[in-house]
Amino acid sequence: MDVTTEILTAIKAYDTIIIHRHQRPDPDALGSQVGLAEILRASFPEKQIFQVGGPVEGLDFLATMDEVADEIYQGSLVIVTDTANAPRISDQRFERGAKLIKIDHHPNDDPYGDLVWVNTQASSCSEIIFDFYHEHQDELVLNDQAARLLYAGIVGDTGRFLYPATTAHTLTVAAELMTYKFNPTDLNRELEQIPMRVAKLAGYVYENIQVDANGAAKVLLPQSLLTGLGIVDSETAAIVSLPGTIDEVVAWGIFVEQPEGYYRVRLRSKGPVINELAKKHHGGGHPLASGANAKDIAEVASIYNELQQLCENFRK
């Protein structure tokens, strides 16, 4: 029995299914989580299907979360999507169910769960959820809302089909999803548009980026700047890809100071593998897109020095 059949068998066996995703959700986290929830609601209307995880941080045009009492977890099936490491799961009650399934596309460094399905070749977790539906379409129903969510997740995690993880299969899936009744143009516009305060932050990024001779770039976003612009941490995600538009930049780090004093680190690359660097600093992720944390400005400097070394070796 392959893993998708095992997952479907588990879904059939439980009357209550609770689906989680990672903290600070992006479109793929919500697309895979709630896209799967919508598929299961349409396929098994007699079951209780919940999506949990707290605030969606400006993505409520995609989906909102359910409030679930502790006792609902008793005897339930819990599924976690798009989350590589257990500490990053939003709402730590995920362990209270009777069975736990992990579905993800990040490297499987933390193989939590009773059933694990990880496909690192997939562009997004939303693509994996579509593949799950497609593999079992004789028993599962994909409705318009699920299609909209999965499409949003794929668009979000591929950078509108620009990132290397985009494959011919990714485009085939997106094309099929577009045959459902939602407006891809309007959805893309909602995903793309930013408020004026974030546009001003983008200007700051371009004005203050540091790039060395080997294309290693660094942008430091102090808390005073974010407070002055009225920007919360989740909104900084909109500017993470900007350094990649500069021809001289090979890999880059965005260092976002948090109110508590530490730095959230977003790492991206056009070639050098950066996820091992991220793991050394309390993070992880994909080879070309990872996240980490720096306890202070000294660790920020250390991470940037390591990034510079990666770019230097890449250029040799």
Tokens of 210: 């540091």
Vertex 104: Cα angle to 23 and 219 (nearest 5)? 50
Share of the chain above pLDDT 70, in %: 100
Q: Are 304 and 216 in contact (CB under 8 A)?
A: yes
Q: Kindly report, residue by residue over 153-185, the tens digit of the pLDDT.
A: 999 999 999 989 999 999 999 999 999 999 999
Q: What is the CA radius of gyration of the chain?
A: 20
pLDDT for the residue numbered 234: 82
Q: Do residues 182 and 264 touch, judged by C-beta distance below 8 A?
A: no
* Closest C-alpha among 177, 133, 176, 132 to residue 152: 177
191 conformational bin, left if phi > 0, alpha if psi -120 to 50, beta if neither: alpha
CA–CA separation, 17 and 81 (whole Å): 13
This prediction has a pTM of: 0.91
Non-local (6+) Cβ contacts of 173 within 8 A are 127, 130, 131, 150, 154
Question: Is domain 196-315 classified as CATH 3.40.50.300?
Answer: no
Residues 200, 18: Cα–Cα separation, whole Å: 39
pLDDT surpassing 90 at residue 313: yes
Closest to 191 (Cα-Cα) out of 149, 162, 228: 149
β-pairing, 16-20 vs 48-51, is: parallel
Domain ranges within the chain, ordered by starting residue: 3-192, 196-315
> Encoding tokens for residue 180?
């459902």
> pLDDT confidence of 77, banded at 50, 70, 90?
very high
Rounded to 5 degrees, φ, ψ at 231 are -105, 135
Cβ-Cβ contacts under 8 Å for 288 (sequence gap 6 or more): 163, 164, 268, 269, 270, 271, 273, 274
Contact 157, 126 (CB under 8 A): yes
Distance (Å, whole) CA 276 – CA 179: 39
Can you tell me whether residue 143 is helix, strand or coil? coil
- Rounded Cα distance, 27 and 190, in Å: 11
Q: Given this model, what pLDDT does residue 57 score?
A: 82
Q: At 94, is the pLDDT very low, low, confident or very high (cuts 50, 70, 90)?
A: very high
Between 3.90.1640.10, 3.40.50.450, 3.40.50.970, 2.120.10.30, what CATH number should domain 3-192 receive? 3.90.1640.10
Is the predicted pLDDT of residue 316 greater than 80, yes or no?
no
d(CA 185, CA 202): 24
